[in-house]
Structures are given as structure tokens and as C-alpha cells.
Chains A and B, each alone.
Chain A
Amino acid sequence: MNALYLTIPIALSIAFGAFYVFFKSYRTGQYEDIEGPKYRMLFDEDRPKGGQ
């Protein structure tokens, strides 16, 4: 059971790390437009930029 003394801190630091990443991305506004990307994907043009 001694493994617990090692694995729990590791698990906790991974979890806190993930939470920190979420905080960061929230603060930089990545969750402000959650509708857009799924449509934007379809907008990508087949034709090169600048018209016909």
C-alpha cells in the first residue's frame, strides 16, 4: 500500500495541472464562442483566396 504515498500526490498534481490549464484557457477567452468553430469548419474555402 506504500505506493499510495507516491501515486496520490502524482494524481493530485496532474489534476491540479489540468485545472490550471482550464483556468488559463477560460481567462484567455477560449470559451467565449463555443458555437462558432463547428460552422467555421464548413466555411473553409475550396478555392484560393482572392476570388475566382
Chain B
Amino acid sequence: MNQTVVQTNCFHCNSPIEEDHPVFTEKNGIKREYCCNGCATVSSLLLENGLDQFYQIRGTQVLEPKEPENENYESDSRMDNPSVHSEYVEVISENRSAVFVTIRGIHCSACVWLIETVLSRSPGIQDARINFGTGRLKLTFDAKKISLSKIFKIIRDLGYKPSLYSPLKAESKVSKPFKDLTFRMAAAGFCWGNIMLFSASLYVGYFEGMDINIKNLFHYVSWILATPVYFYSGYPFWKGAYESWKRHILSMDTLLFLGVSLAYFYSIYVTLRNQGEVYFDSVCTIYFFILLGKYLEAMIRFQAGTKIGELLSSLPEEYEVKRNDFWEKTSTSSIIKNDIVRLLHGSRVPVDGKLESAESFFDESFLTGESKPIRRTKGEEVKAGSICLSSNITISSSGTARESSLAQIGRLLEDSLLTKPKIQRVTDRLASIFIKIVLVVAACTFVYWWNFVSLETAILNTISVLIVACPCALGLSVPAALVVGYWMQSKEGVLIKNPETAEILAKADRIFFDKTGTLTTGKLELKEERFFSNAKRQNEYRNIAVSLESNSSHPVANAFVRTLSLSDQRTTSNHLPILPEWVSMEEHPGLGIEAKDEKENFYRIGSKKFALASETENDGWIYLSKNGFPLAAWEFGDKAREKAKESISFIKTLIPHLEILSGDVGGKVKALADELGIDDYSSNLSPSEKKDRIREAQLKGETVVMLGDGINDSACIAQADLGISMGMGSDLSLDRSDVVLIQNRLDSLPKSILISKKTRSIILQNIVLSLIYNSIMIPLAALGLMLPVICAGFMTFSSLTVVLNSLSMKRRVFS
């Protein structure tokens, strides 16, 4: 076994191989080394199928190694159920069906190529195409030759995580208005581009003279081009104006609509009379720029919306329901009131209902943020979205899935995407005051000029007032800055889910950090091992510990099983220690695990207080005890994230107070706080104590931001004014947080704060700029000193100022 191995990185994923546990394959005399069995499986699958081209396409890119799966494969068989089929699979013809699958874990073009190629070579699959942008696979297949579960298994075997996706379901609220807006914006842009050609000639003609027939022709052409913009692109504005008129308020839409309508109809009048100047180009310019701003804003929200939709769609879709004394598999949507539903260990409760089994534990952190399992007894209420922690329980539903608390959360999320940010509402109020002033000024102008000069001059000057007052710049001030802000955030790997985020982040007083997984990498490593009795039985103790911990999903338990099982492989001894047979085993959440063997010996593994029943403080070690006597102890630790120190000192310059909230023991927290330069820290906190700590700060009037990662942080993330989660955190906390650091890097946070602060100040600048511009121009127009054509020019100029000011943010943030 002493052959030299050429490569030091995994042949498949290119990540470095840990020395202790290499995996070899040998074929045709070529020896390949892998970091884990998962990679080895995928790689041999590729090589056997002649798909080694993958490694050329991959280049030097490092892939994420295939994780050992702990998901339940059994659930794939649910896919073949007719009810799931009918919901997701579109039958095109007798032997041709189509389905959409969202695939998680795609890193690069090589992944796409791999999945597509392997799938399209499988019998029964006609076509497989992945959308690079969304990571969504469109598959056409012959349902008679290959089943959905088989397809899922192929994708899983390659190391990716598939879940069914229904385009009809996701493209509901957000997507339709978005497409609509795109068309309106495109139409306005198209007509604007064309009309400016004729307008430019008309401008020149105005100053240098122009043949009257040509001028008329250009007027008619402009009319043709402006009409679709006025009616089709402008539809949202006249609808908005009508609605606010109905509710007796004056909004931005009212002013826009009035100004544009006046310009449009006056221009028609001019065209028909063959005398004067037309303002059809203003109609197009105003609508195009405002729609463009709205479009960019909607695009960001749409992307955030699909992301949330994907998270929600990863929930299970099928359950066993009792129908006519048989257990029948059915989809969530067909569960009705009073159905008896059977749940397996670890599955999510699909509907609100009452527990029928004697008792069970539930993880309700998705709803309440409380991560400790909640015990429910027969007849008690069970909430949709909570996770069932005991196996094979039954509940009787009290309504459909659509009426459940989970569906309500989904709707809340959607609503939050459709609400206007607070600062936008402020500008709307500002606009309504502004409009009143403008209307009064316009009326006065009209009356004055009509009385003292002529009707024609009166109309002309009134139009000047309305056009110059067009709150285009004001209307663009917020969206333009927000869009640039969002765009820069997403470049830094920050996903903003809520438009009000920038405001809160900009004025935050205090940031709370979770420790494990947020400031540290969260990858626990064995630091030290201690044995209290017979040193020769070390392996036996290790194995007992592993066999106990393997029943828990706690992160420490996972690290335990991972590292200690490995150290087993290293031992040279041939005989395997005999493990006790467990008669009973119970996990005490937050403390440890207790088990009894055949000889009535009690084994406990966990914190010092729990395992040794000692009165002394927990010291962070994990103890294994037999009948209360210590056998062994292990210490685990993790290290600070990359660039954590720099990021923290950067954040310190932006936000005055930083504090670590940790459930870990004091010594470890202090060490990290000292290392990173954070002055305040609290240790030994339970999730609810963390939450209280945040509420305390809020009661003092502070704006609080919480940065966390795990399920146990979701309560804090929800409690804080702004919740931020690391991208690799659990799906649960992702749902509850307002901001997600997608790239899982701490250094994107200070940049995000900086961008938020800048966004806020640019919004204020924009509002001030546009108001100053208007307050200078309106009096000039009212006095008849401005020609409408110059007004239109200035109006465009003011909008451009606002847009350019927003675009300058990029340079200003990183200068």
C-alpha cells in the first residue's frame, strides 16, 4: 500500500485531500485519489460512461465535495404518486411528458454539462436542458420508460439536490406584473428612441426655420409614435391617477398623468391646427424613464421572490392520508379538513391539525423561533411548518394546507416583496403636498395670462408650469438609488429580501453576532482527548461515544461522529471492540444523550453537568460517563472565519456597538472576542435569553441588527430590527432573515453596511436636488419666461441628474 500518488487534490472535486483518510480507486493501472467516497462514486460513474470530458470542462475549478447524504431517499418514491404527477408533470403526448426540476448545488458550467449529458443518455429521457441563470432543469421524458424517482436518483447520484418545481405555482403574483411592466417599458423605450429623431429635427427647425409641410409631417409621425406610449405604457399611471382620485388623494401618479395628458392633448390640438409646437416627445421621455426605474426595481424584487419561492418549494409535497381504512399517498394540496395524516420522523407538518398519537416532539422554530423541541400530547394543536421529531405519528387536519399558518407565512413573504419601502411612501406624501402647490400655481398662471394677454399664451404657460413641475426627478429619486444600491449589494454577494433593509442597516446602532458558524467557520474539529481510566480501552470508549452520538443531529454530535469514526480507521488493531447493546436511549436536547445497556449500566454523554451530575460549571468538554463515573472527555473547537478580524474592525467604524451572543462557554467566547477585537460579549445563553438580550437593547431605543446562521438563531433574527443570515445557514433562518450573505463571507457585511449608508444619503440628495430644481423652474415658467420646449429639455435634464447621481454611488463607495 505504499505506492506513490501523483496528485494531492481530489481527482473529482479538486479540493485538497486530508491526509488521514484518502480513498483510492485503481483501474487499468491508473491510480486515482479522492477526498471521499462520494467523489469516488461520481467519478467512477463518469469514467465508466466515457464522460471524462467533464474534467477538461471543469478546468482548475474546485467543486464542493459530494456530501455524504443524510436525506431520506425513500421520499423519492413519493414522486411516482399519481397526485404528485398530475400536479407537476405536463403530459404533452402519449409518450412525451415534461417536468421542471430545481437543482441545488450547481457551481459551474461543468455541472450543467454533466447533468444534461448523463440525463440525456439515460433511456426514456428525450431532452434535458438546464437554464444557466436559474439552475432549473426542463426535462422531457417518456413516463412509461422512466419514472420520476429514477430521474431523481440519477441526479442525486451525481451529487446534486433536485426538487420538483411547478412553473405555474411560482409564477403567480410577482411574475405576471413583472412581464407586463417589461413590455410597457420596452414599448415606451422603442417609441422614445424613434420619436427623438423627429424631435431633434423639430428643435433645429424651431431655431433655424423649417418647411411647414415637413414640420406637419413630423408632427403627425410624432403623434403616431406617442399614442401607444400614452395609452399602453401610460396605463399604470392613469390607473393610479384614477384610483387616487377615487380615494380623494393626490399622488405622484395624478401629477404625472395631468402633466402628460395636457402635453399630449395640447400637441394633438397643435397638430390639427398646423400651428405651434408639439410635446409628444415629452410624453415618451417621461413615461420611458419612470418605467425604466420601475422595471429595474421590479427586476431585483422578482429575483428575490424566485429565491424565496425556491426555498418554499423545497418543502415536502406528499403525505400518507387515511382514506377508507387505507393509507393512501396524496399531495399536500388534496388534504382536506378532518383527514388523518401520517407523518414520518423528520418530516414537516403540512397542515394545521390536532395530534392523534399519544405524544410527540415538534420543532416549531420555523414559526416561533424556539429551537427546543416542544412536547405535544394527544389532542393538542400542531402547526403546519413545524417538524415532527418522533416517528410515525398521526394528526387530524383542521383545514387545508392553503389555510394553514405556513401558507400565511408564504403570503407574508410575497406581500413584503410587493410593499413599497418606507422612504418611497415619504416621497409620495411629499408629492401630494407638492401637487397641491403646483395645481394652485398652474391655475393662477392660467387665469393671469388669460386675463392680461391671451388664451393661447395662457395655455402655453400653463403647460410650461405643468411640464417643468413634472415630478419625474422626484419620482425617480428613490427607485434609482435603490436599484443601484441593490445591484451593488448583489455584486458583493448580499441578497436583500426586504426593500426597507437599506434604511435600517444604515442607521443601526448595535450588531449582535452569533458565534458558532457566523464569526467562526462552524466546522468543529477535535482539539483534545482525555481518558480517565484504562487507557487500553480507548477505542472502546470512542466507539461507545460514536454509537451514542450518531443518534443525534446536533452539530457537535455530527463532528464527533465524523472525527472519531475516522480515528477508528487509523488504528491498526484488528479486533473491533464489542459495543454494548442499547436497551433504551433518550436525547436530552441541549444537555446530552442517555442510554441503558442490557446489564442495566447507565451511559451518559454530554456536558459536565449532565454526564457527571457535577455541580461545577460546564467547561466546554464533552464527557462520557458510565453509571456516573467519567470514562473519557473530548474538546471540540472551531476557528474564526477568514477575514473576520478585518471585517470586524471595518464594521466598528460604521456601527458603534458590537456584541457577541453565544450559547458557548465563557472562555471560548472571550478568546474569540479578544482575537477579533469585540468588547462586549455574553456567553452561556439559551436562544430565548439571546432574544431577551436583543429586546432589552431595543427597549433602550437602539436599532438592532442580528447576524446569525443556525436554526437556534432564527428567533433572534426575527426579533431584531434587521436579521442577516449566512448563506450556508439552515433554510429556516434564511426564510426569516431580511438579508442573506450568499457567499458565506463575513467581509461582505461591512461593504453592505457602507452601501446602505450611501444609498440612504443618495436618496436624500436626490429628493433635495429634484425639489430645488422644481422650486427654481416653476416660478420662471409661471412668469412666462420659459418656453415649453426648453421646459421639456430641463425636465429630462433633471431626471438625468438624479440617475447620474445614483450611478455615481459605485465610485463613491469604494473610493
Chains A and B form a bound pair: yes
Chain A residues packing against B (C-beta within 8 Å)? 1, 4-5, 8, 12, 15, 19, 22-23, 26, 32-36, 39, 42-43, 45, 47, 49-52
Which of B49-57, B65-73, B580-588 touches A? B49-57
B203 at the interface (CB under 8 A from A): no
Contact digits for B113-144, partner A, Cβ 8 Å, 1 yes 0 no: 10011000100000000111110000000000
Given known A12-B221, A19-B190, A33-B132, contact A42–B57 (CB-CB < 8 A): yes
Q: Are A39 and B221 in contact (CB under 8 A)?
A: no
Given known A4-B217, A8-B221, contact A43–B50 (CB-CB < 8 A): no
| Least Cβ–Cβ distance between A10 and chain B, in angstroms | 12
What 16 additional pairs, Cβ within 8 angstroms, besides A33-B132, A33-B133, A39-B112? A1-B211, A4-B217, A12-B194, A12-B225, A15-B190, A15-B194, A19-B187, A19-B190, A22-B186, A35-B133, A39-B113, A43-B57, A43-B109, A43-B117, A49-B121, A51-B50
| Least Cβ–Cβ distance between A4 and chain B, in angstroms | 6
B214 at the interface (CB under 8 A from A): yes
B245 at the interface (CB under 8 A from A): no
Given known A5-B217, A12-B224, contact A32–B194 (CB-CB < 8 A): no
Given known A4-B214, A12-B194, A26-B182, contact A35–B50 (CB-CB < 8 A): no
B183 at the interface (CB under 8 A from A): yes
List residues 454-482 of chain B with CB under 8 A from any CB of chain A: none
Interface centre among B121, B131, B134 (most CB of A within 10 A): B131
Chain A residues closer than 8 Å to B50, beta-carbon distance: 47, 51-52
Q: Interface residues of B: mostly helix, strand, loop or mixed?
A: helix
The chain A residue sitting closest to B220, CB to CB, is A8
Chain B residues closer than 8 Å to A15, beta-carbon distance: 190, 194
Alpha-carbon distance between A8 and B211 when the two chains are bound, in angstroms? 16
The chain A residue sitting closest to B49, CB to CB, is A51
Chain B residues packing against A (C-beta within 8 Å)? 49-50, 53, 57, 109, 112-113, 116-117, 121, 130-134, 182-183, 186-187, 190, 194, 211, 213-214, 217, 221, 224-225
The chain A residue sitting closest to B182, CB to CB, is A26
Q: List 30 A-B contacts (CB under 8 A).
A: A1-B213, A4-B214, A5-B217, A8-B217, A8-B221, A12-B194, A15-B190, A15-B194, A19-B186, A19-B187, A23-B183, A23-B186, A26-B182, A26-B183, A32-B131, A33-B131, A33-B134, A36-B130, A36-B132, A36-B133, A39-B109, A39-B113, A42-B57, A43-B117, A45-B53, A47-B50, A49-B121, A50-B121, A51-B50, A51-B121
Given known A15-B194, A23-B183, A39-B132, contact A1–B57 (CB-CB < 8 A): no
Alpha-carbon distance between A45 and B695 when the two chains are bound, in angstroms? 60
Q: Are B183 and A36 in contact (CB under 8 A)?
A: no
The chain B residue sitting closest to A46, CB to CB, is B53
Q: Count of A-B contacts with CB under 8 A?
A: 56
Q: Are B221 and A34 in contact (CB under 8 A)?
A: no
Q: Are B133 and A32 in contact (CB under 8 A)?
A: yes
The chain A residue sitting closest to B211, CB to CB, is A1
Chain B residues closer than 8 Å to A51, beta-carbon distance: 49-50, 121
Q: Interface residues of A: mostly helix, strand, loop or mixed?
A: helix
| Least Cβ–Cβ distance between A25 and chain B, in angstroms | 12
Which one, B132, B187, B190, B214, contacts A35 given CB within 8 A?
A: B132
| Least Cβ–Cβ distance between B328 and chain A, in angstroms | 37
Alpha-carbon distance between A43 and B225 when the two chains are bound, in angstroms? 45
Q: Are B57 and A36 in contact (CB under 8 A)?
A: no
| Least Cβ–Cβ distance between A39 and chain B, in angstroms | 4
| Least Cβ–Cβ distance between A16 and chain B, in angstroms | 9
Alpha-carbon distance between A6 and B600 when the two chains are bound, in angstroms? 102
Alpha-carbon distance between A5 and B218 when the two chains are bound, in angstroms? 10
| Least Cβ–Cβ distance between B376 and chain A, in angstroms | 45
| Least Cβ–Cβ distance between B70 and chain A, in angstroms | 32
| Least Cβ–Cβ distance between B790 and chain A, in angstroms | 27
Chain B residues closer than 8 Å to A35, beta-carbon distance: 132-133
| Least Cβ–Cβ distance between B56 and chain A, in angstroms | 10
| Least Cβ–Cβ distance between A30 and chain B, in angstroms | 12
Alpha-carbon distance between A33 and B112 when the two chains are bound, in angstroms? 13
Chain B residues closer than 8 Å to A34, beta-carbon distance: 133
The chain A residue sitting closest to B194, CB to CB, is A15
| Least Cβ–Cβ distance between B54 and chain A, in angstroms | 10
Chain A residues closer than 8 Å to B187, beta-carbon distance: 19
The chain B residue sitting closest to A32, CB to CB, is B131
Chain A residues closer than 8 Å to B117, beta-carbon distance: 43
Chain A residues closer than 8 Å to B116, beta-carbon distance: 43
Q: Ordered nearest first, which 3 A-B pairs have the shortest CB separation?
A: A35-B132, A39-B109, A36-B132
Chain A residues closer than 8 Å to B224, beta-carbon distance: 12
The chain A residue sitting closest to B109, CB to CB, is A39
Alpha-carbon distance between A28 and B120 when the two chains are bound, in angstroms? 23
Interface centre among B112, B130, B132 (most CB of A within 10 A): B132
Q: Are A43 and B132 in contact (CB under 8 A)?
A: no
Alpha-carbon distance between A15 and B221 when the two chains are bound, in angstroms? 13
| Least Cβ–Cβ distance between A40 and chain B, in angstroms | 8
Alpha-carbon distance between A37 and B257 when the two chains are bound, in angstroms? 42
Alpha-carbon distance between A15 and B116 when the two chains are bound, in angstroms? 39
| Least Cβ–Cβ distance between B233 and chain A, in angstroms | 13
Chain A residues closer than 8 Å to B133, beta-carbon distance: 32-36
| Least Cβ–Cβ distance between B227 and chain A, in angstroms | 13
Chain B residues closer than 8 Å to A47, beta-carbon distance: 50
| Least Cβ–Cβ distance between B61 and chain A, in angstroms | 13
Alpha-carbon distance between A22 and B53 when the two chains are bound, in angstroms? 37
| Least Cβ–Cβ distance between B120 and chain A, in angstroms | 9
Chain A residues closer than 8 Å to B134, beta-carbon distance: 33
| Least Cβ–Cβ distance between A29 and chain B, in angstroms | 10
